[in-house]
Amino acid sequence: MEPNITLLLVSGFLIACGVYLLLERSLTRILMGILLASNGVNLLYPIIAGRAGLPAFIGLSAADRITDPLPQAMVLTSIVITLATTAFLLTMAYRAFQVNGHDEVQDDVEDAVIRRLALLDEASESYDAGVTHGEPGEEAGSDTHETTGAARPGDPREGDR
């Protein structure tokens, strides 16, 4: 099978642009990226159908001169799915805009807490809480009592409460 080079280049270009946009923070740009990349991927299907030919209708065209209809059926399915994707992502971007005033992808809150604790080289609150609430005998982490304590000034967790 001789692939169609023009289509292949266009497909590659679209996917490259799509990936570039996917790396952005704004959900609308990510949506554009998904759209471009999906179109690029969908273009792969006309390529794998092989050489162009007559429409695949029984009785209209001779069997040896028709184009392969199966990739067309597949690409139709994936186009419909892309449409649904677009609708859903647009809704989500709009909802994020309603809730936050922007549509930027946010970092995970819990990850950020753990990362800051790691940077400060402190035990997490779930480890040292025994100090703040008494009953040290029941605590697994009782040996850390000296190094940790109740909420200090500058405690990274205060802002999250």
Piece of 27-35, 52-60, 147-155 that binds other proteins (CB under 8 A)? 27-35
120 to 159, contacts with other proteins by CB under 8 A? 124-126, 129-130, 132-135, 138-140
Piece of 56-64, 93-101, 143-151 that binds other proteins (CB under 8 A)? 93-101
137's tokens: 């005998």
Would you say 26 or 61 has its CB closer to other proteins? Answer: 26
H helices within the chain, ranges in order? 5-22, 27-48, 69-100, 109-120, 125-132
Calpha distance 151→148 (Å, rounded) = 9
Calpha distance 30→90 (Å, rounded) = 10
In three-state secondary structure terms, 66 is strand
Chosen residue from 83, 90, 105, 151 binding other proteins by CB under 8 A: 105
Cβ(70)–Cβ(128) under 8 Å? no
Q: How far is the CB of 131 from other proteins (least distance, A)?
A: 12
28 to 87, contacts with other proteins by CB under 8 A? 30, 34, 37-38, 41-42, 44-45, 47-48, 70-71, 74, 77-78, 81, 84-85
Calpha distance 150→160 (Å, rounded) = 16
Could you tell me how many residues make up the chain? 161
DSSP secondary structure letter of residue 49: T
List residues binding other proteins (CB under 8 A): 1, 3, 22, 27, 30, 34, 37-38, 41-42, 44-45, 47-48, 70-71, 74, 77-78, 81, 84-85, 88-89, 92, 95-96, 99-100, 105-106, 108, 110-111, 114, 124-126, 129-130, 132-135, 138-140
